[in-house]
Structure 1
Amino acid sequence: MESVFAAFWSGNYSPHGYCLFWQPQLLWTHIIADALIALSYFSIPIALVALVRSRKDLAFGWVFWCFALFILACGGTHVMAIVTLFYPLYGLEAVVKLVTAIVSVTTAILLWPLLPTLVRMPSAEKLKEANGQLAAMVEQRDAALAELKHEVAQRETVEAALLQAQKLEAVGQLTGGIAHDFNNLLQAIAGNLELIARKPDDADRVIRWTSSALDAVERGRQLTGQLLAFSSKQRLDVKSVRLAELIGGMAGLIERAVAPLSRVRIERIDPVWNVQTDALQLELAVLNLAFNARDAMPEGGMLTVSAELRSGKVAPDLPPGDYVALRVEDTGMGMPPEVAARAVEPFFSTKGVGKGTGMGLSMAFGVMRQSGGTLLIESGVGKGTAITLVLPIATLEPRRDVQDDAARDERISLAGKTIALVDDDAHVRASLAEMLRAAGANVEEAADGAAGVALVQTRRFDALVVDFAMPELSGSEVADQVAATNPDLPVILITGFADSNKLDAIASPNVNILRKPFESHELLRKIRDIARR
């Protein structure tokens, strides 16, 4: 037995070509076939390696490396088949086959467990179908986003309309007190004018009566300014606001809101406290709180407005920081807990039909949130209600409009200036013309917009003064037509109009706006500053 195996391992063998009887046809057939197989086996791994290296995202890339080694080893066996035709290197051939066997078995062991996963991989058709479904989902998402944007735009429109209605409701609630105040102002103006007419030669008294009448006009201007601010469509403008000045300036409105049965006490507010908010919206919020307090005190009572500085975590829904708490407290009926919990909900109201929109507290809460603050409610049945408006401290100082009092007494001369004056109100036009002529100006008048445009085309003017609100051809249209033929002519639009959007739409750099009522020195100074040299 040992002799048999010894002969087997002795290595004394003939080349494989001996078995083929060294016939050229057989030898070359084996050589060519094994060479082609080996070359193919060697080229396939190169292609697999190139694929894996260029597609690093390819799933199961290691499988391709295993196949490359397996095929490369198989190619080696075919090379050895050619070698052993001429040289009996069967030991080396055995080693090559052993390596090939190891690589083959390893690849098979790794491949079979992977087979179920490969079977479950989607086909090209399934991938195409999945892509189609994904595209449909994207279209649905885009449609949903477009619908959401449309709904957001509708909500903003509705909110703007509701806020406008709330403003108008506030103006309506003030109507009685406003009418009373205007009658008093008119009485003061009429009485002083009558005294002047009776004794025009009494210079000292005329000056005193004139001053009294002008004071009444100034009070009326402030009152109409507040009403226009409430009723007009204002954009939210959050900025630094002097709280003490704001509350002090609207003290009269707060008193009218609770009159005649209730009283108002406004405690001192530190003038250095500046808050970050929209001034007009805060005024409207406080005014609505005053209306609510009046309704809660049908038999009369006291409304107290105060403020204090708070720091740290002042409310659950606010970050720690420095805040000013503006407190509006009444001595009215108060609210039960279930009503107080819903008080800031839009349209929630315990009042009867026609007695309110239920938007007052909701609007105030919205203004506070947009300002970076919040609204707190303390109330109990029979104990009154305290609404606290928490506003963040402003980091910047508010802009202060400094008016030079000496400018009122400044003598402004318009000598040598030629002014075109257009106003459809004969009384206003006459007073303005007299005012301008008294300053030395030459004045040409027109009673409507079309006549004003024609007037400007007749000669050279240094400035055009035109009323904004006129029938047929408005002041802005007059300015546009004049700019088309005379673009360098300065224009002053005088207006008591409330719609800031229409005024803001006037984009010409040569157009200046002066709001009614104004004093003579304001108009004269503006003409002096802009008139053509």
Structure 2
Amino acid sequence: MLDLFRPFFDGSYAPHGYCLLWQPELIWTHVIADALIALAYFSIPLVLISFVRRRNDIVFGKVFWLFALFITACGLTHVMAIWTLWDSVYGLEAIVKVVTAGASVATAATLWPLLPKALALPSPAALRAANAELAATISERDAALARMREEMAQREQAEAALLQSRKLEALGMLSGGIAHDFNNLLQAVGGNLELIERRSTEPDRVQRWSRNAHKAVQHGKALTSQMLAFSRVQKLVMATVSVAAVLDNVSELLKGSIGPSNRLEIVPIDEDLAVATDKAQLELAILNLVINARDAMPKGGTIAISAEGRTGDVHADLPVGDYVEISVRDNGVGMLPEVLERALEPFFTTKVVGEGAGLGLSMVFGVARQSGGTVQLDSTPGAGTTVSLILPRVPMRAVGEEEGNVAETVAEGGRSLAGRSILLIDDDDGVRETLVEALSEAEAKVVSASSGDVGLQHLRRMRPDLLVVDFAMPGLSGAEVASLARATHAGLPVLIVTGHARTAEVDAIAGPRVTVLQKPFSADTLIRTANSMIAESRRD
């Protein structure tokens, strides 16, 4: 058997050059042509291999490898064609051709089944159409997102408006109690002032009466500040809220809402109890619960507010975790079982028309759900009701007092304003006269005006050390006066006095050398603030 194939390898046959009669033209034409073909065949697999290795995402990678092998084998056949021109190694040439045949058959066998998949690949036109459709889908999505953002903004505005209406409704419901408190305050102030007028020659008693009147004014100031902060329009903001601080902030409002025949007890609250909620909504929820408790005790009674931390499975509607339970308990008439079942439904009420809209408890429930909590009711007819607001507890963090350029007290600066000139603008005659007297007593040179226009006329003739101006006035407001004054008197310190709550309009005024002072304030606070502002402007 080996003797049969030996001539293919031992050179027994004549080389191909012999068939070409060894004519140089023919020999070198074959050599050059086969060499170029071989080089081209060898370069093609390199390109294919490089492409497949760099593009791992190519689906038909196996075909590329087989095609590279097939092309390489074809190149070898042309190399063998050159070799056999001079050396008759036809056996080796036959082996190369067998390998080439195997590679070509394998490539063809793999390629034909892939033909349907290759034909299914999208054409450039189909890809352009798909891209256009995708772009249209993206545009529709962007438009939908824009509409969603607009709807969310509208919803936030609606929620803010609803909260504001609930605040105003609650303030209206407690207005009677607040009016009662203010009448008492006016009685205390007026009575003490009357005693001072009658016994002005008795210094010790005058001082005592003056202190009593001042205490009444401070109490009224605290109550007014809470009402203004509670009723102002503000954006809903989820934040870490101290439960103890919230109850302390609304305590005066709560006391004013329950009437003289009821008693309010606030159990001391752990300072570490904190929840994540909107502070204004939580205050409104507690106020609603207290008003409901008041209405449930027509003959008077006690309303107790407490808060405690709870851990574990505290309610069927809540997952296991840490919570704060804020409870408002009364000893009133209680609720029947059928009333208790519907108590959290919006607009459900057992009160007569005009006494309530039935939104109190549903609003409290809404606040709880928005904050990740719930409401629990426990009531016994004739024994009273306990409403518990259960909210997820969060770690307490240091929350500083509201900052800004609002000056209540100023540590630095003395009580003397000797040699200082001050322009005072306030449309209220009584307030303006009192402030002029206080500043003059501190030896300041005071020029007063009853309106912004008159005050600006004074500014054209003088350069004061300080401008004191009321925020809310007919005509030019305090903010407008301050802006016009600083346009002509650069660096002029401005003290804005206002009885308004901290709103965006008031906060927008504050800035370098502009301070906001909330009414009512003491003469000492006014003088020290003025002295500090003037001293600071001169240092600069």
Q: What is the TM-score of this pair, normalised by structure 1?
A: 0.86
Match of 1:435 in 2: 438
Q: Which amino acid aligns with 1:452?
A: G
State the 1:34 CA deviation: 3.8
State the 1:504 CA deviation: 0.8
Q: Which amino acid aligns with 2:308?
A: E
- Relative to structure 1, the CA distance from residue 406 to residue 349 in structure 2 (aligned partners, 3 Å threshold; closer, same or farther) is closer
- Relative to structure 1, the CA distance from residue 57 to residue 252 in structure 2 (aligned partners, 3 Å threshold; closer, same or farther) is closer
Match of 2:138 in 1: 138
Instruction: Provide, for residues 421-475 of structure 1, a one-character-per-residue CA deviation record: whole Å limited to 9, x for no partner.
Output: 1111112111111121122222111111111122133223222211111110111
Instruction: Provide, for residues 46-89 of structure 1, a one-character-per-residue CA deviation record: whole Å limited to 9, x for no partner.
Output: 33233334434333223112111101111222232333333321
Q: Are residue 451 (structure 1) and residue 454 (structure 2) matched? A: yes
Contact 1:240 1:394 survives alignment (8 Å): no
SS at match of 2:378: strand
Q: Which amino acid aligns with 1:349?
A: F
Q: Are residue 197 (structure 1) and residue 197 (structure 2) matched? A: yes
Match of 1:514 in 2: 517
Contact 1:168 1:230 survives alignment (8 Å): no
Looking at structure 1, the residues matched to 422 and 273 of structure 2 have their Cα atoms a distance apart, in angstroms, of: 44
Match of 2:377 in 1: 378
Match of 2:13 in 1: 13
- Relative to structure 1, the CA distance from residue 279 to residue 312 in structure 2 (aligned partners, 3 Å threshold; closer, same or farther) is same
Looking at structure 2, the residues matched to 98 and 357 of structure 1 have their Cα atoms a distance apart, in angstroms, of: 97
Structure 1, unmatched stretches of 5+, are none
Contact 2:423 2:467 survives alignment (8 Å): yes
State the 1:355 CA deviation: 5.0
Match of 1:395 in 2: 396
The 5-angstrom pairing of residues 17-416 of structure 1 reads 17-20=17-20, 30-31=30-31, 33-235=33-235, 236=237, 238-239=239-240, 241=242, 243=244, 246-247=246-247, 250-259=250-259, 263-270=262-269, 272-276=271-275, 280-297=280-297, 302-315=302-315, 317=318, 320-321=321-322, 323-330=323-330, 331-334=332-335, 336=337, 340=341, 343=344, 347-350=346-349, 355-356=355-356, 359-365=359-365, 367-368=367-368, 374-379=373-378, 382=381, 384-391=384-391, 392=393, 394-397=395-398, 399=400, 412-416=415-419
Contact 1:419 1:461 survives alignment (8 Å): yes
After TM superposition, the structure 1 stretch with the greater mean CA deviation from structure 2, 144-153 or 21-30, is 21-30
Contact 1:335 1:379 survives alignment (8 Å): no
- Relative to structure 1, the CA distance from residue 281 to residue 406 in structure 2 (aligned partners, 3 Å threshold; closer, same or farther) is closer
Contact 1:340 1:377 survives alignment (8 Å): no
After TM superposition, the structure 1 stretch with the greater mean CA deviation from structure 2, 218-227 or 326-335, is 326-335
- Relative to structure 1, the CA distance from residue 171 to residue 62 in structure 2 (aligned partners, 3 Å threshold; closer, same or farther) is same
RMSD: 3.5
SS at match of 1:233: coil
Q: Are residue 484 (structure 1) and residue 487 (structure 2) matched? A: yes
SS at match of 1:415: coil
Instruction: Provide, for residues 483-509 of structure 1, a one-character-per-residue CA deviation record: whole Å limited to 9, x for no partner.
Output: 112222222111111351110111431
Identity %: 49
Instruction: Provide, for residues 367-425 of structure 1, a one-character-per-residue CA deviation record: whole Å limited to 9, x for no partner.
Output: 5567x662321235737542223352653355479xxx9999x9822222222111111
Contact 1:337 1:380 survives alignment (8 Å): no
Match of 2:467 in 1: 464
- Relative to structure 1, the CA distance from residue 341 to residue 63 in structure 2 (aligned partners, 3 Å threshold; closer, same or farther) is farther
State the 1:308 CA deviation: 2.4
Looking at structure 1, the residues matched to 4 and 62 of structure 2 have their Cα atoms a distance apart, in angstroms, of: 45
SS at match of 1:57: coil
Looking at structure 2, the residues matched to 2 and 435 of structure 1 have their Cα atoms a distance apart, in angstroms, of: 131
Instruction: Provide, for residues 202-253 of structure 1, a one-character-per-residue CA deviation record: whole Å limited to 9, x for no partner.
Output: 222222222222222122112211211121123547345361x653564453
Looking at structure 1, the residues matched to 8 and 233 of structure 2 have their Cα atoms a distance apart, in angstroms, of: 109
Looking at structure 2, the residues matched to 51 and 397 of structure 1 have their Cα atoms a distance apart, in angstroms, of: 61
State the 1:13 CA deviation: 2.2
Looking at structure 2, the residues matched to 441 and 78 of structure 1 have their Cα atoms a distance apart, in angstroms, of: 113
Looking at structure 2, the residues matched to 400 and 4 of structure 1 have their Cα atoms a distance apart, in angstroms, of: 108
Looking at structure 2, the residues matched to 201 and 356 of structure 1 have their Cα atoms a distance apart, in angstroms, of: 53
Q: Which amino acid aligns with 2:303?
A: L
Looking at structure 2, the residues matched to 30 and 521 of structure 1 have their Cα atoms a distance apart, in angstroms, of: 115
Looking at structure 1, the residues matched to 90 and 347 of structure 2 have their Cα atoms a distance apart, in angstroms, of: 100
Match of 2:405 in 1: none
Looking at structure 1, the residues matched to 37 and 288 of structure 2 have their Cα atoms a distance apart, in angstroms, of: 95
State the 1:179 CA deviation: 1.8
Looking at structure 1, the residues matched to 461 and 3 of structure 2 have their Cα atoms a distance apart, in angstroms, of: 139
SS at match of 1:86: coil
SS at match of 1:150: helix
Q: Which amino acid aligns with 1:73?
A: A
Q: Are residue 526 (structure 1) and residue 526 (structure 2) matched? A: no
State the 1:362 CA deviation: 4.9
Q: Which amino acid aligns with 2:253?
A: L
State the 1:157 CA deviation: 0.5
State the 1:306 CA deviation: 2.0
Looking at structure 2, the residues matched to 7 and 220 of structure 1 have their Cα atoms a distance apart, in angstroms, of: 125
Structure 2, unmatched stretches of 5+, are 403-407
State the 1:22 CA deviation: 5.2
Q: What is the TM-score of this pair, normalised by structure 2?
A: 0.85
Instruction: Provide, for residues 260-308 of structure 1, a one-character-per-residue CA deviation record: whole Å limited to 9, x for no partner.
Output: 66x3442532454443466554332211112233444556554332222
Contact 1:449 1:478 survives alignment (8 Å): yes
Contact 2:193 2:209 survives alignment (8 Å): yes
Looking at structure 2, the residues matched to 264 and 38 of structure 1 have their Cα atoms a distance apart, in angstroms, of: 107
SS at match of 1:187: helix
After TM superposition, the structure 1 stretch with the greater mean CA deviation from structure 2, 112-121 or 380-389, is 380-389
Contact 1:233 1:501 survives alignment (8 Å): no
Match of 1:496 in 2: 499
- Relative to structure 1, the CA distance from residue 136 to residue 513 in structure 2 (aligned partners, 3 Å threshold; closer, same or farther) is same
SS at match of 1:505: helix
